Amino acid sequence: MLFDLNIPWPSTTYAAPSASEIAALKSILAMLQHLQYTHIALNFQLDPSLKLTKKDFAKKSPNPIDLSLFEHQFNLKIYTRITLTLHDPADFPGLKLFSDHFDLIAIKPLNDRALSVAITNFDFDIISFNYKENLKYWLRNKAVHSGAAKGKYFEIVYAPVLQPDTRKNFLSVCKNLVRASRSQGILISSGAERSVQVKTKLDLQIMCKIINIAPHRVAQIINENPSKVMISGRLRNQSYKQSVAMGSDILETKKHKIDDDEIAVLRKLQKK
């Protein structure tokens, strides 16, 4: 299995994407399929200027991603994700607003306080950063290790390395994260907005070497950690306190049956 848990949804608001934007997204999915990816997450990067409450979703879902647009077109398992930019935790509406509607929830903290509060309090799957700009705060070893110990994963988004004007910032943020985490609790995603930005598994291995990932962690970052994130997200919103009923052949959750591939991942992780 090969994962890419960050393929941006074309719109950052609740406006419907244009036909050309959907066509470009389908082109990315076709390339992912060609490169033998198996599990994809479409990422709705919510515009941080939008102030949303429960009243805004009284008659509509907080998830604008329409998976029916891609039905029977790709041999991919496609999931939905939301990324929430966090500046002042006091202004945050709460993850419960979104947790029942997305398979994955990611937080993008903009300062040290937001990162600390997110690690301490919030129930989500991924911590991401803006790799197009230098971080305006220092990643502390203690905070990052605490997040990894609590089962949170830190995402490296590699699309900015492909652009000359953002490559330097990407490398700076990556090395900051790798230093603080000691290569633990990391996963790698593309953030691809064009099909040419998607890379092969071999390219990802080379990239891990460039950013000083410990060699024995590379397989975890590319395969194992995304698997754990995907299963954790699915259990978070499809089970009761991550309790499931396991039989010899099936694994049921509160809302859906988890598919055979996910059962295989769960059983593999249980043996470790």
The domain segmentation of the chain, as residue ranges, is 3-216
Do β-strands 245-246 and 186-189 pair in parallel, antiparallel, or remain unpaired? unpaired
Closest by alpha carbon to 187, among 143, 144, 157?
157
Per-residue pLDDT, 40: 95
Per-residue pLDDT, 94: 64
The two tokens of residue 56 are: 């805004």
Q: Name beta bridge partners: 186.
A: 154
Per-residue pLDDT, 52: 74
**One-letter identity of residue 108:** K
Cite the beta strand spans of the chain per DSSP E: 3-8, 39-45, 77-86, 104-109, 126-127, 153-157, 186-189, 245-246, 251-252
The two tokens of residue 121 are: 């309090």
Residue 228's contacts (CB-CB under 8 Å, 6 or more residues apart) are 151, 153, 269
Per-residue pLDDT, 253: 35
Q: Name beta bridge partners: 84.
A: 107
Residue 34's contacts (CB-CB under 8 Å, 6 or more residues apart) are none
* CB 102, CB 237: distance < 8 Å: yes
CA–CA distances in Å: residue 89 to residues 92, 119, 121, 235: 5, 12, 10, 25
Per-residue pLDDT, 93: 56
The angle, 0 to 180 degrees and rounded to 10, between the axes of the packed helices 141-149 and 112-121 is 20
Per-residue pLDDT, 143: 86
Closest by alpha carbon to 8, among 37, 34, 44?
44
Mean pLDDT, each 10-residue run in order, the chain (272 residues): 95 93 97 96 91 76 93 93 84 71 92 85 86 90 85 93 93 93 92 95 94 91 92 70 41 44 55 50
Say which residue the tokens 């306080």 belong to.
Answer: 113
Measured distance between the N- and C-terminal CA atoms of the chain, rounded to whole angstroms: 18
Per-residue pLDDT, 249: 36
Q: Name beta bridge partners: 42.
A: 7, 80
Closest by alpha carbon to 173, among 194, 151, 198, 155?
155
The class (CATH top level) of 3-216 is alpha beta
Say which residue the tokens 């490296």 belong to.
Answer: 156
Q: What is the DSSP string of 92-152?
A: ---THHHHTT-SEEEEEE-SHHHHHHHHHH---SEE---TTS--SS---HHHHHHHHHTT-
